[in-house]
Chains A and B, each alone.
Chain A
Amino acid sequence: MRSILLDPAGTKPADPSDDDLEALLLIRHFELALLELYSSGALNGTTHTCLGQEYIPVAVSALLTEADFVFSNHRGHGHYLARYRDPHGLLAEVMGREGAICAGVGGSQHIHRDGYLSTGVQGQSLPVAAGLALHLRRAGGGGLACVYIGDGTWGQGAVYEALNLAALWRLPLLVVVENNGIAQTTPTTSQMAGTIADRALAFGIRHLAVESSDVAEIRDVLADPVELVRLGDPLVVEFATHRLGPHSKGDDVRPAEAIAAAAAHDWYARQLRDGDQRFTELDAAARDHVQQVVAEVAARPASVWQDAS
């Protein structure tokens, strides 16, 4: 049991496969489209985009099976799209249009379908995921519960109650931490004493640190550790990542240099800079695709809540 650091510093990431690149670009353009829709007043409420973090669910999703259950959070569009590639359903949910995943009741941060659930309260999902993992272990199909959380989530006591139970009861629980260094507007250095690694190790839970944004490389490193989760050995994977955009919309109070530093890690900008014909084509195709989705979904009638009491 140790904390492993995966850091390919200095090496140029390999180009993602077509399929991975399509997924990355779908999420990127979906999030950009949402920000545009919000600015134009076309959406109700708020949203939290995962710009810059898209590679994490794209890498992780390929390691999951249909038997696995994913728990997402307020910043969950990438988690959903990486798993289901369903921009129509998600946009309809966010816009309250026909074909919405949850009839428009849940909206951006409360989504559920077979094998997937997101909620809007920090830390709440971990004990629930532990219960789901308990069910999966008893069912015996080798399934695991995968929970995406952020660095800010570690302020909640529910996280530690769940980690204790997961280690104690040997539950197939995979915790994916998207540590983007900031919780809404609070830098992690101002809200967290010690480290996530030490906190995981305190429960005897394996911890893996990942600094790479290379999808294939991440999968190579995670494949075996994730298989061990299926045998009842919980795992915390901590990605050092960067949130390019605001927490929700128009609420980025970071100094310009901090935003520039985050942008310097952007996989998209790097691909654009180094990009070949293939990237240019797939990028244009994804942008067009999302624009079509927006046009199509926006023209749909309002969603109907059949089960409204």
Chain B
Amino acid sequence: MRVAEDLNAALHAVMAADPAVYLLGEDIADPYGGAFKISRGLSTRFPGRVLATPISEGGFTGVAAGLALAGDAAIVEIMFGDFIALAFDQLFNFASKSVSMYGSRKPMRLIVRCPSGGGRGYGPTHSQSPMKHFIGMPGLRVYELSPFHDSTAVFEEMLATAEPCLFIEDKVLYTKQSGTAAVPFHWSSDGTIARVFLDDHPDYILIAPGGVAHRAMEAMRSLLTEAELSGTLLVPSRLWPLSVTADMLDELGARATLVVEESTAGGTWGAEVAHQLGRPLTVVHSRDSVIPTAAHLERDVLVQPSTIHRRVLEALRD
């Protein structure tokens, strides 16, 4: 099954399971089903609970927060994750704050889906990875779509936390196969962290969210065939609060650990991971740049398998 189908099935499942769940966003109604077709079939199946909105991210994210405040649950589709900037006040000053600023814990079941990332030539305002702007916001959790996590379970978990959740979806994942590791690697998952590995004694560890998992696996292959280095990839579903622990790294006992993400440089998730884990960690991210449209320029800015390959060799040499 493709990741897009898995995600669509997850939305169907949570809306079928709970009549209080709404979906809001631009152009999400059938037959279009959203810019990336992730919301396909939902407006037909759940009329009245799937609300195609005007171009008003701040407005409809606020509406979703109002539904959550009233005890319903709301899933918001931001057409391109970059546009979440327009809903920042509702998330930063209202939805996340409401969880605790009224003195007792207030359940706020709100999920904001953000198709993110580059690699598709959409240019500087349609290709960013916005999660770094939401790290360390009390009352807000950050998750990322992953090919190694069952999206239905992840959506159930996010709703069960009763806190607003940002769900980052790297657009390049939509067409990939779900639950498939690159040959010759195996994979396993405890539901929280997925592990892609060759053996139990890796030379290095990569920590990477779902969106860069395929690039990480490609680097693991080239490092194996060209340098006979064995790696283990850890893919967390929840990025914040951090779900990878220092114990996991110590148990694997690798000589180097790298955290890889597509965000451009500065205030990255990876920097916070390194800080929290308290281990010597190499942080790998995209260049400090806008994300260009032309394929050759975009490739030069964004993290590539070759970037990861090179940084692993450097880390092991140091």
Interchain Cβ contacts within 8 Å, total number = 118
**Interchain nearest-CB distance for A57 vs B (Å):** 20
One of B48, B62, B69, B105 near A307 (C-beta < 8 A): B105
One of A119, A120, A165 near B60 (C-beta < 8 A): A165
- Asked if A103 is an interface residue, CB under 8 A from chain B, the answer is yes
Contact A161:B65 (CB < 8 A) given known A124-B90, A136-B70: no
- Asked if A226 is an interface residue, CB under 8 A from chain B, the answer is no
Contact A127 B59 (CB under 8 A): yes
CA distance A124 to B97 in the complex (A): 13
Contact A128 B69 (CB under 8 A): yes
* Chain A, range 103-148, C-beta contacts under 8 Å to B: 103-106, 110-112, 117, 119-121, 124, 126-136, 138, 145
Contact B70 A309 (CB under 8 A): no
* Chain A, range 46-85, C-beta contacts under 8 Å to B: 69
Which of B50-58, B125-133, B153-161 binds A? B50-58
Contact B94 A119 (CB under 8 A): yes
Contact B53 A165 (CB under 8 A): yes
CA distance A127 to B86 in the complex (A): 13
Contact B103 A309 (CB under 8 A): no
The interface size of chain A toward B, counting residues with CB under 8 Å, comes to: 41
Contact B93 A119 (CB under 8 A): yes
Contact B103 A126 (CB under 8 A): no
B53's nearest neighbour on chain A, judged by CB, is A165
Query: A165 contacts which chain B residues (CB < 8 A)?
Result: 53-54, 56, 59-60, 63
Contact A158 B102 (CB under 8 A): no
CA distance A54 to B203 in the complex (A): 71
The interface size of chain B toward A, counting residues with CB under 8 Å, comes to: 35
- Asked if A100 is an interface residue, CB under 8 A from chain B, the answer is yes
**Interchain nearest-CB distance for B157 vs A (Å):** 19
**Interchain nearest-CB distance for A53 vs B (Å):** 24
Query: A134 contacts which chain B residues (CB < 8 A)?
Result: 63, 66-67
- Asked if A271 is an interface residue, CB under 8 A from chain B, the answer is no
- Asked if A157 is an interface residue, CB under 8 A from chain B, the answer is yes
- Asked if B136 is an interface residue, CB under 8 A from chain A, the answer is no
- Asked if A102 is an interface residue, CB under 8 A from chain B, the answer is yes
Query: A210 contacts which chain B residues (CB < 8 A)?
Result: none
- Asked if B225 is an interface residue, CB under 8 A from chain A, the answer is no
CA distance A165 to B58 in the complex (A): 12
Contact A132:B69 (CB < 8 A) given known A121-B94, A124-B62: yes
Query: A105 contacts which chain B residues (CB < 8 A)?
Result: 100-103
Query: A133 contacts which chain B residues (CB < 8 A)?
Result: 66
- Asked if A94 is an interface residue, CB under 8 A from chain B, the answer is no
Interface 1/0s, chain B 156-168, versus A by CB < 8 A? 0000000000000
Interface residues of B (CB under 8 A from A): 48, 51, 53-54, 56, 58-72, 74, 89-90, 93-94, 97-98, 100-106, 138
Interface residues of A (CB under 8 A from B): 69, 100-106, 110-112, 117, 119-121, 124, 126-136, 138, 145, 157-158, 161-162, 164-165, 168-169, 305-307, 309
